[in-house]
C-alpha cells in the first residue's frame, strides 16, 4: 500500500534553495505536535541536515482543549551548515487551532509561512483563545504568507471508509500536517511510514489512517494551487562519520551504559519519576541484557540511598532526578561524600523554586548542587552542553567518580534532555577503558585501612564478599587511614581539608579550559550547560563582524579548570549568560575576583542568539 | 584431598575492635551478644554478611560487628539495604533499626522494603522512646506518656510495628525480648534463615530514658501472665500455671481459663503458615494489659523475593536478547552517513 509513496516524487513546482529553516508545529497537547516535530527532525537528520530541536509543552497532561494554557509546540531547526541552536524566529508555523496561533505567531518571521487548520477556527475556539474576530479572515496576519487549510475536513476525507470513529479520524490530523511540511521541505515520507508501520503494528486501521493522512498532506501541498514553491536544504557538511539523532536523555542513558561497560561494571539506577528526568529511567529500564538494574524507588530519598548501597556493594551506581528531587537527596549525598564512594547524581534542571515550571528549562540548580548539603560537603560538578554531549559527559563523570572515590553531580536541563541533535556514532573499542581495581585481600597480614589514600587522595574501594577486608563505613566522622569513628577536633579539620583537596585534585585529570577564538581580547563570553549553542553562535557572529570576542564553555563547574583564572585575566571584560539570576557569576566573582557581567533570564526558554549579541555589544569598545 | 570445610567461628569472632559505647545496662548489649552467637551457628562467611543501620542508639550496631557494615542516615537503612541486596544477592543483609528510625522518619522505606519482600533481615529495637536525642516520645510510646516534648502527656496514638509489617504482607514477622536470651537467639536464627524479608521486633529496655517500659513482660513475678509464647501448631496457652488460654469468640480473641468445661481443643491454635495474614494480624493486636502479648513467630510464609525477581529479569533478558552489544545498539534504528 505504502510503496507507491516511498520514493521522493518529482516536484512540479518551484524549489527554492535555502541554507536553513526553522519550523514549529503547535496545537493542543494531545494533538500530537511532539510526534510531528520528532518525525520532521528525524527525517531532516536522515536527509543529512544538521538539526536542533526545542520541544515546549505544558505541565498538564491534557489541559482543556483549545485553551491558551494547553498549547504544545515543537520547533525544529535544520540546516546545511553546522548549527548550535533550535533557531530563534520561525520560518514556518503550523497552527492547529486559534490558541496555538495566538501563543506562537509572535515568533514567526515577517513574510514567514503560516499554515493554519482553518476548520479549527470556529466561534467557540476563537472565544477560548480570546479572539473577537477570526484572525484568518481579517487583515491582522497580512505580513505572513498565510495558508488556510481545512485540515480536519481533508483528514476525515482521506481516512473515509476505514471504519474509524470521528475522534480517531481527527487524531490523524498531525500526520496530515506532517505530510504538508514534508512536501514543503522536500522530505521523504519513508522514515515516517516506517515509524507508522512499527508503532501501529497491532492497530492496522490506525496505521492505514495515519499513512493516508500523511500522504494526503504531502499530496495537498503538491497539487493545490495555494502553494507555489517548496524549499530545499542541502546536506550539512558535518565531520565524516555515521550519525543518528539523539535526545539528551537518551544520550545520557547510553553514555552511562557505555561507562559501565568501559569499567566492566553492571549499572544500578535508583530513581523516582520526575519531569524532565524520567526518560533516563525509562530508557535504562529497557536494557537489562546490558546488566542494567533499575529500581523505581518509593521516593527520591530511597532512590539515592539504594544507589549508595549499590555503590558500596561494588556496582556502578546512579540516581537521576530534577531540582526538587535533588533537594530531597541532599542528606544522602552528604553521606556519600563521607563514605567516599563513587556515585553519579544526575540533575536534569527545570524551572524553580519548588515545583516551579516542571516542563520548562532553567539552569538555577547550580548553587544547590554546589552547596545544598549540610556541612562542608564538596562534590565535583559536570554539565552537558548539548543533547549529544550528554553521552561524553556521562562517561567523564564516571571516570572521575571511580578514580577519586567521590560522588559526582551531572547537570543537564530540560532543554538538553528533550532536545535532539545528530550524534556521531562511536566505536566502543575506540573509547578509553576505565580501570577500576578493588583490593583483593589484606596485605601481608596488616589490618585493612579503609581510608588509606593514594596520590590523588582516593581511598580503596573494598567490596563486601572480600575475605579479610571487613570494614564499616558510616556518616560519623572517620579517622583518616583506619576509618574508625573519630571526634578528634584536629582529625575533623584534616578530613574536611582532605575531602576538599580531593575534589580540587580532579582538575589534574580534566585538562585545561579551551577557548574558541583568540586567547585574549575585549570580551570573553563564559558559559556553561544548555546556553552553549546560543553563546557559540553569538560569538561566531561577533567574530565575523571583527570584534575581539572569544568564547569559553565550562564543562566542569567544580573544580574549575586550572587555567581558568589566567584566561579570565586575559580579557578586558567577561560576560556570563545564564538561565538563572547569576549563579556561575557568583562563583566566578568569588573565586577569581573578576568583575564579570551577568546576562540573566528565567522565562522557561533558552537564550536567543540576538539577546547575547545585544548584551555583548554594550560591553565592546 | 584437603578439607574444604569453613573454619568454625565463635561468637567472639564476630566482635569488631571498636569499643561498645552504649549506656551500661542497655538492652542493646544483650541483642548484640545473641546476634554474635547466632552468626556463629549460621555457618555464613563473615565477609558475606553486611549490617546496615540508620540513626539512633541501636544503629551503632554495625560498628561492633566484624562483618561488612554501613551506618547510614536516619530512617533510610532499608533503602540502602535494598540497593545492596538487589546488586548482590549473594550477601546476607541485616537492617538494624529502632522504633523512631524505622517507624517515624523511615516509615515509608520500612513499608516498601517489607511489601517488596526484599530478602533482608530487619531487626527493630523497640524501647518506646527516643534515646539518642535524649528522651522524647516515639511512635510506640503509650498515650499520655510524659516526656521532654510531651510535658502534658503524649496525645499520639501509638502504633504496632507488628501490625504494620503484617499490613504490608511481611512474609516473616516475629517478636522477642532483650532479656529473654534463648528465645531471642532462636528467633533471630529463624529470621536469618527465612528467605524473603524477615521482621523481628525486640522489646528492649532503655534504662536511662524509659526504664522498665516492658517490666510487665520481663519481671519474673508477672511475665507469665502478660506474655504468651506462641508456637506453630500449638494452642495459645499462658500463665504461671499454664492454666489460661486465648479463645476466638467470633472475630475476637478472649482470655479464658482452662478447666470448668474449657479444654485445649477450644483454644486458638497458632498457624504461622496461614496464607492469609488475618490470624497473624489478630495476634499482633493483642496488647497488655487486656491481653498477654505474643512473642515468637507470628507469620512465616514463602513468597517471591524482589531481589531474586530483579536478577531473574536480568538473566532472562540476557538469555533472550544475548549479552548487550553497545556497537549494535549505537547503530540500530535510523542512521545516516556523512562522507
Decide if B259 is inside a domain.
no
Contact state of B318 with A301 under an 8 Å Cβ cutoff: no
CA distance A269 to A291: 11
User: Do residue A279 and residue A417 come from a single domain?
Assistant: yes
For β-strands B244-249 and B252-257, DSSP reports them as antiparallel
Of A378, A396, A430, the residue that ends a domain is A430
Centre a 10 Å sphere on the Cβ of residue A437 and count the other Cβ atoms it contains.
8
Q: Residue-wise over A8-21: b if at least 16 C-beta within 10 A, else e?
A: eeeeeeeeeeeebb
Smallest CA–CA distance, residue B21 to chain A, in Å, is 12
- What are the residues whose beta carbons fall under 8 Å from the beta carbon of B144, sequence distance 6 or more? B153, B154
Contact state of B82 with A309 under an 8 Å Cβ cutoff: yes
Decide if B249 is inside a domain.
no
CA distance A467 to B10: 17
Decide if A4 is inside a domain.
no
User: Do residue A262 and residue A126 come from a single domain?
Assistant: no
Q: Which residue on chain B is closest to A262 by alpha carbon?
A: B326
Q: How many domains does chain B have?
A: 1
Q: Helix and strand tally (H, E) in chain A?
A: 21, 22
Domain harbouring B54, CATH code:
3.40.50.970
The partner residue sitting opposite A307, judged by closest CB among B83, B111, B333, is B83
Contact state of A243 with B52 under an 8 Å Cβ cutoff: no
Contact state of A268 with B86 under an 8 Å Cβ cutoff: yes
Question: In this predicted structure, what is the pLDDT of residue A226?
Answer: 85
pTM, entire model: 0.95
Q: Is residue B244 exposed (0-12), middle (13-18) or buried (19+ Cβ within 10 Å)?
A: buried
Question: In this predicted structure, what is the pLDDT of residue B260?
Answer: 85
Decide if A184 is inside a domain.
yes
The partner residue sitting opposite B66, judged by closest CB among A303, A305, A470, is A470
Decide if A516 is inside a domain.
no
Instruction: Tell me the mean pLDDT per 10 residues along chain A, length 621.
Output: 41 85 94 95 93 91 87 95 92 96 96 96 95 94 95 96 93 96 95 95 95 96 89 92 96 98 98 97 98 98 98 98 98 98 98 95 98 98 98 98 98 96 97 97 90 98 97 97 96 98 97 98 98 97 98 98 98 98 98 97 95 98 94
CA distance B309 to B321: 18
User: Do residue A284 and residue A219 come from a single domain?
Assistant: no
Domain harbouring A283, CATH code:
3.40.50.970
User: Do residue A90 and residue A157 come from a single domain?
Assistant: yes
HSE of A491, CA atoms in CB hemisphere, 13 A? 14
User: Do residue A212 and residue A267 come from a single domain?
Assistant: no
Q: The domain containing residue B164 runs over which residues?
A: 11-213+301-308
pLDDT tier at B6, thresholds 50, 70, 90: low
Q: Residue-wise over A397-414: b if at least 16 C-beta within 10 A, else e?
A: bbbbbbbbbbbbbbbbbb
User: Do residue A27 and residue A93 come from a single domain?
Assistant: yes
B176: which strand partners?
B202
User: Do residue A229 and residue A249 come from a single domain?
Assistant: no
Contact state of A244 with B330 under an 8 Å Cβ cutoff: yes
Centre a 10 Å sphere on the Cβ of residue B134 and count the other Cβ atoms it contains.
11
**Test the B interface: residue of A51, A309, A377 with most B CBs within 10 Å:** A309
Q: The domain containing residue A602 runs over which residues?
A: 521-619
Decide if B114 is inside a domain.
yes
Contact state of B339 with A475 under an 8 Å Cβ cutoff: no
User: Do residue A26 and residue A116 come from a single domain?
Assistant: yes
Contact state of A48 with B339 under an 8 Å Cβ cutoff: no
Contact state of A240 with B84 under an 8 Å Cβ cutoff: no
Q: How many domains does chain A have?
A: 3
Domain harbouring A200, CATH code:
3.40.920.10
Sign of the torsion formed by the C-alpha atoms of A599, A603, A604 and A609: negative
Q: How many CB pairs under 8 A join A and B?
A: 210
Chain B partners of A331 at a C-beta cutoff of 8 Å?
Answer: 73
Contact state of A240 with B339 under an 8 Å Cβ cutoff: yes
Decide if B283 is inside a domain.
no
Whole-Å CA distances, B43 to A472, B49, B85, B89, B170? 21, 11, 19, 17, 25
User: Do residue A165 and residue A63 come from a single domain?
Assistant: yes
Contact state of B90 with A309 under an 8 Å Cβ cutoff: no
The C-alpha angle B244, B249, B253, rounded to 5 degrees, equals 55
User: Do residue A251 and residue A229 come from a single domain?
Assistant: no
Instruction: Calculate the CA A284 to chain-centre distance.
Output: 16
Contact state of A310 with B86 under an 8 Å Cβ cutoff: yes
Contact state of A268 with B337 under an 8 Å Cβ cutoff: no
The yes-or-no verdict on residue B5 having pLDDT over 70 is: no
Chain B partners of A191 at a C-beta cutoff of 8 Å?
Answer: 334
- What are the residues whose beta carbons fall under 8 Å from the beta carbon of A203, sequence distance 6 or more? none
Decide if A442 is inside a domain.
no
Question: In this predicted structure, what is the pLDDT of residue A1?
Answer: 32
CA distance B49 to B94: 8
Chain B partners of A241 at a C-beta cutoff of 8 Å?
Answer: 337-338
Chain B partners of A301 at a C-beta cutoff of 8 Å?
Answer: 76, 79, 109
The yes-or-no verdict on residue B2 having pLDDT over 60 is: no
Domain harbouring A551, CATH code:
3.40.50.920
The partner residue sitting opposite B338, judged by closest CB among A194, A241, A335, is A241
H or E element that contains B45: none
**Test the A interface: residue of B32, B87, B323 with most A CBs within 10 Å:** B87
Of A430, A449, A467, the residue that ends a domain is A430
Do residues B101 and B186 touch, judged by C-beta distance below 8 A?
Answer: no
DSSP H helical segments within A224-299, as ranges? Answer: 248-262, 278-285
Q: Residue B289, preceding bond cis, omega within 30 degrees?
A: yes
CA distance A103 to A126: 13
Decide if B37 is inside a domain.
yes
Decide if A503 is inside a domain.
no
ipTM (interface pTM) = 0.97
User: Do residue A181 and residue A297 come from a single domain?
Assistant: no
The partner residue sitting opposite B73, judged by closest CB among A238, A469, A475, is A475
User: Do residue A167 and residue A270 come from a single domain?
Assistant: no
Question: In this predicted structure, what is the pLDDT of residue A4?
Answer: 36
The partner residue sitting opposite A293, judged by closest CB among B63, B109, B314, is B314
Per-residue pLDDT tens over the stretch B123-148: 999 999 999 999 999 999 999 999 99
The partner residue sitting opposite B324, judged by closest CB among A287, A298, A335, is A287
Do residues B339 and A239 touch, judged by C-beta distance below 8 A?
Answer: no
Decide if A454 is inside a domain.
no
Decide if A362 is inside a domain.
yes
> DSSP of B4-42, one letter per residue?
-PPPPP-GGGGB-SSPP-SPTT-THHHHHHHHHHHHHHH
Contact state of B324 with A291 under an 8 Å Cβ cutoff: yes
Decide if B291 is inside a domain.
no
Chain A partners of B47 at a C-beta cutoff of 8 Å?
Answer: 464-470
Per-residue pLDDT tens over the stretch A533-587: 999 999 999 999 999 999 999 999 999 999 999 999 999 999 999 999 999 999 9
Give the pLDDT mean for B2-31.
Answer: 85
Contact state of B84 with A339 under an 8 Å Cβ cutoff: no
Do residues B18 and B172 touch, judged by C-beta distance below 8 A?
Answer: no
Decide if B62 is inside a domain.
yes
Task: Give percent of chain B with pLDDT exceeding 90.
Answer: 95
Amino acid at each position: 500500500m505504502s510503496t507507491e509513496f516511498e520514493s521522493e516524487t518529482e516536484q512540479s513546482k518551484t524549489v527554492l534553495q535555502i541554507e536553513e529553516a526553522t519550523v514549529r508545529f503547535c496545537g493542543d497537547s494531545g494533538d500530537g505536535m511532539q510526534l510531528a516535530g520528532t518525525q520532521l527532525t528525524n527525517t531532516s537528520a536522515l536527509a543529512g541536515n544538521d538539526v536542533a530541536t526545542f520541544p515546549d509543552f505544558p505541565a498538564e497532561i491534557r489541559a482543556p482543549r483549545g485553551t491558551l494554557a494547553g498549547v504544545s509546540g515543537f520547533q525544529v531547526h535544520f540546516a546545511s551548515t553546522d548549527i548550535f541552536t533550535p533557531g530563534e524566529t520561525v520560518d514556518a508555523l503550523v497552527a492547529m487551532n486559534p490558541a496555538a496561533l495566538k501563543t506562537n505567531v509572535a515568533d514567526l518571521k515577517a513574510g514567514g509561512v503560516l499554515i493554519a487548520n482553518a476548520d479549527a477556527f470556529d466561534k467557540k475556539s476563537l472565544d477560548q483563545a480570546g479572539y473577537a474576530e477570526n484572525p484568518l479572515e481579517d487583515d491582522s496576519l497580512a505580513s505572513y504568507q498565510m495558508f488556510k487549510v481545512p485540515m480536519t475536513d481533508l483528514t476525515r476525507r482521506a481516512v473515509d471508509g476505514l471504519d474509524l470513529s470521528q475522534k480517531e479520524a481527527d487524531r490523524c490530523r498531525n500526520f496530515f500536517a506532517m505530510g504538508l511540511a514534508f512536501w514543503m521541505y522536500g522530505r521523504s515520507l519513508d522514515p515516517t511510514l516506517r515509524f507508522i508501520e512499527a508503532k501501529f503494528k497491532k492497530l492496522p486501521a490506525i496505521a492505514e489512517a495515519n499513512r493516508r493522512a500523511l500522504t494526503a498532506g504531502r499530496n495537498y501541498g503538491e497539487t493545490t494551487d495555494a502553494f507555489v514553491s517548496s524549499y530545499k536544504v542541502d546536506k550539512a557538511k558535518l565531520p565524516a562519520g555515521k550519525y543518528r539523532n539523539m535526545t539528551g536523555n537518551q544520550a545520557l542513558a547510553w553514555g552511562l551504559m557505555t561507562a559501565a561497560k568501559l569499567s566492566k561494571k553492571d549499572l544500578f539506577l535508583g530513581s523516582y519519576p520526575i519531569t524532565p528526568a524520567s526518560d533516563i529511567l525509562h530508557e535504562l529500564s529497557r536494557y537489562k541484557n546490558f546488566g542494567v538494574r533499575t529500581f523505581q524507588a518509593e521516593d527520591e530519598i530511597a532512590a539515592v540511598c539504594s544507589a549508595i548501597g549499590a555503590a558500596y556493594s561494588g556496582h556502578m551506581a546512579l540516581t537521576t532526578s530534577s531540582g526538587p528531587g535533588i533537594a530531597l537527596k541532599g542528606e544522602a549525598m552528604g553521606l556519600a561524600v563521607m563514605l567516599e564512594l563513587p556515585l553519579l547524581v544526575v540533575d536534569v534542571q527545570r524551572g524553580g523554586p519548588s515545583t516551579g515550571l516542571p516542563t520548562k528549562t532553567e539552569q538555577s540548580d547550580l548553587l544547590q548542587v554546589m552547596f545544598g548539603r549540610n556541612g562542608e560537603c564538596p562534590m565535583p560538578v559536570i554539565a552537558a552542553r548539548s543533547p549529544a554531549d550528554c553521552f561524553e559527559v556521562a562517561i567523564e563523570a564516571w571516570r572521575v567518580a571511580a578514580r577519586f572515590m567521590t560522588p559526582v553531580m551531572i547537570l543537564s536541563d530540560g532543554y538538553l534532555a528533550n532536545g535532539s541533535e545528530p550524534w556521531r556514532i562511536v566505536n566502543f573499542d575506540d573509547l578509553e577503558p576505565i580501570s577500576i581495581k578493588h583490593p583483593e585481600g589484606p596485605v601481608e597480614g596488616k589490618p585493612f585501612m579503609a581510608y588509606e589514600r593514594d596520590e590523588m587522595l582516593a581511598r580503596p574501594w573494598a567490596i563486601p564478599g572480600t575475605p579479610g577486608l571487613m570494614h564499616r563505613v558510616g556518616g560519623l566522622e572517620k579517622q583518616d587511614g583506619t576509618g574508625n569513628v573519630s571526634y578528634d577536633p584536629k582529625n575533623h579539620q584534616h578530613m574536611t581539608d582532605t575531602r576538599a583537596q580531593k575534589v580540587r585534585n580532579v582538575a589534574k585529570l580534566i585538562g585545561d579550559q579551551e577557548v574558541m577564538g583568540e586567547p585574549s581580547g575585549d570580551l570573553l563570553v563564559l558559559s556553561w550547560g544548555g546556553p552553549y549553542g546560543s553563546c557559540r553562535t553569538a560569538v561566531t557572529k561577533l567574530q565575523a563582524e571583527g570584534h575581539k570576542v572569544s568564547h569559553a564553555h565550562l564543562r566542569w563547574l567544580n573544580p574549575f579548570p586550572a587555567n581558568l583564572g589566567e584566561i579570565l585575566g586575559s580579557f578586558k571584560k567577561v560576560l556570563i549568560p545564564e538561565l538563572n539570576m547569576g549563579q556561575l557569576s557568583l562563583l566566578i566573582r568569588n573565586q577569581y575576583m573578576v568583575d564579570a557581567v551577568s546576562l540573566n533570564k528565567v522565562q522557561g526558554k533558552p537564550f536567543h542568539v540576538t539577546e547575547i549579541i545585544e548584551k555583548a555589544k554594550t560591553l565592546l569598545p | 584431598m584437603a578439607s574444604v570445610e569453613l573454619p568454625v567461628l565463635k561468637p567472639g569472632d564476630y566482635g569488631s575492635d571498636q569499643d561498645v559505647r552504649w549506656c551500661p545496662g542497655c538492652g542493646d548489649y544483650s541483642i548484640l551478644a545473641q546476634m554474635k552467637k547466632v552468626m556463629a551457628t549460621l555457618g555464613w562467611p563473615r565477609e558475606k554478611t553486611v549490617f546496615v543501620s540508620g540513626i539512633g542508639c541501636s544503629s551503632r550496631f554495625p560498628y561492633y560487628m566484624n562483618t561488612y557494615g554501613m551506618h547510614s542516615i536516619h530512617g533510610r537503612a532499608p533503602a540502602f539495604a535494598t540497593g545492596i541486596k538487589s546488586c548482590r544477592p549473594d550477601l546476607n543483609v541485616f537492617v538494624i533499626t529502632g522504633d523512631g528510625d524505622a517507624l517515624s522518619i523511615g516509615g515509608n522505606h520500612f513499608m516498601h522494603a517489607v511489601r517488596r519482600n526484599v530478602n533482608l533481615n530487619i531487626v527493630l529495637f523497640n524501647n518506646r522512646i527516643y534515646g539518642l536525642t535524649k528522651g522524647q516520645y516515639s511512635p510506640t510510646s503509650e498515650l499520655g506518656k510524659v516526656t521532654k516534648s510531651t510535658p502534658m502527656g503524649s496525645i499520639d496514638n501509638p502504633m504496632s510495628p507488628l501490625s504494620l509489617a503484617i499490613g504490608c504482607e511481611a512474609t516473616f514477622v516475629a517478636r522477642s525480648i532483650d532479656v529473654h536470651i534463648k528465645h531471642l537467639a532462636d528467633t533471630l536464627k529463624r529470621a536469618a534463615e527465612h528467605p524473603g524479608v524477615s521482621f523481628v521486633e525486640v522489646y528492649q529496655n532503655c534504662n536511662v530514658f524509659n526504664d522498665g517500659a516492658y517490666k510487665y513482660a520481663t519481671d519474673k513475678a508477672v511475665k507469665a501472665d502478660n506474655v504468651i509464647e506462641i508456637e506453630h501448631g500449638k494452642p495459645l496457652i499462658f500463665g504461671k500455671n499454664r492454666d489460661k488460654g486465648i479463645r476466638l469468640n467470633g472475630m475476637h480473641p478472649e482470655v479464658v481459663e482452662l478447666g470448668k468445661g474449657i479444654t485445649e481443643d477450644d483454644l486458638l491454635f497458632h498457624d504461622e503458615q496461614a496464607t492469609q495474614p488475618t490470624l497473624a494480624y489478630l495476634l499482633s493486636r493483642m496488647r497488655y494489659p487486656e491481653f498477654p502479648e505474643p512473642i515468637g513467630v507470628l507469620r512465616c510464609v514463602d513468597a517471591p523475593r524482589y531481589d531474586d525477581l530483579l536478577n531473574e529479569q536480568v538473566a532472562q533478558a540476557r538469555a533472550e536478547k544475548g549479552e548487550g552489544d553497545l556497537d549494535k545498539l549505537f547503530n540500530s534504528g535510523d542512521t545516516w552517513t556523512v562522507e
